[in-house]
Amino acid sequence: MTDTTQDTTHFGFRTVAKEEKATMVAEVFHSVAAKYDIMNDLMSMGIHRVWKRFTIDCSGVRRGQRVLDLGGGTGDLTAKFSRMVGDSGQVILADINNSMLKVGRSKLRDSGIVGNVGYVQANAEELPFPDNYFDCITISFCLRNVTDKEQALRSMYRVLKPGGRLLVLEFSKPILEPLSKIYDAYSFHLLPKIGEIIAHDSESYRYLAESIRMHPDQETLKGMMDDAGFDQTTYYNLTGGIVALHRGYKF
């Protein structure tokens, strides 16, 4: 009997062929790109800005450094990092989804952010950058959509400089049972309805809710980062563990 488990992965709660997932995820984000920012504010009641601010504060990014905002979408973190690294630094906004990248580029350029930001369409599993290139990599609300997370983490490790750090901001597992029940009710009942009203797309937001549940919990992701070579890995639970920020270093 042929073992097919190595050829399949999850797309939300569905099992799909690995080679199909990237295309299916792309369709989701093509659909939601135009309404992505307003949906973020509505879905999180604006708290996503606090989570991202905490990520920035934990980054240790300084003037003149090179930063990769991976899966950076509409560029919230890129905008902050651009100011932090200054004219002598560089920020790369990378995303596998061209629709999201276009929205991010237009948004940043409209804000006057042009000189030290570059844009690259890239797959996290095969980053098109030299070894030991970046001082810091952030991946925000993106890792759960990657087909081979272990390969992506190894790819990020490769392009980090010695002394560099990776920050993974992602939905995680609530640490309080009552909060978990409330969160489930919100995710599976209210969130698709908001998606239908605002983005005219309930199915994409149903997938996003399911993808959160299929993402590794805090300790599992920490172990994956350790296995990829990162040192001093740790995580911070935010909003009761609804979101976690993982951080690891390359030495």
- Feature table: binding site: 74, 95, 123-124, 140
3-state SS assignment for residue 207: helix
CB 242 within 8 A of CB 184: no
> How many degrees, rounded to 5, is the angle at CA 97 between CA 238 and CA 151?
65
Q: Report how far apart, in Å, the C-alpha atoms of 215 and of each of 34, 107, 148, 168, 229 are.
A: 25, 29, 12, 12, 20
Give the separation between CA 19 and CA 51, rounded to whole angstroms.
32
Nearest to 136 by CA among 228, 61, 56: 61
Written as six digits, the tokens of 7 are 């050829």
Nearest to 14 by CA among 6, 24, 23: 24
Contacts for 82 with CB less than 8 Å, ≥ 6 apart: 91, 108, 113, 116, 117
Binding region for S-adenosyl-L-methionine:
74, 95, 123-124, 140
CB 86 within 8 A of CB 63: yes
Beta bridge partners of 10: 15
Written as six digits, the tokens of 229 are 């070579």
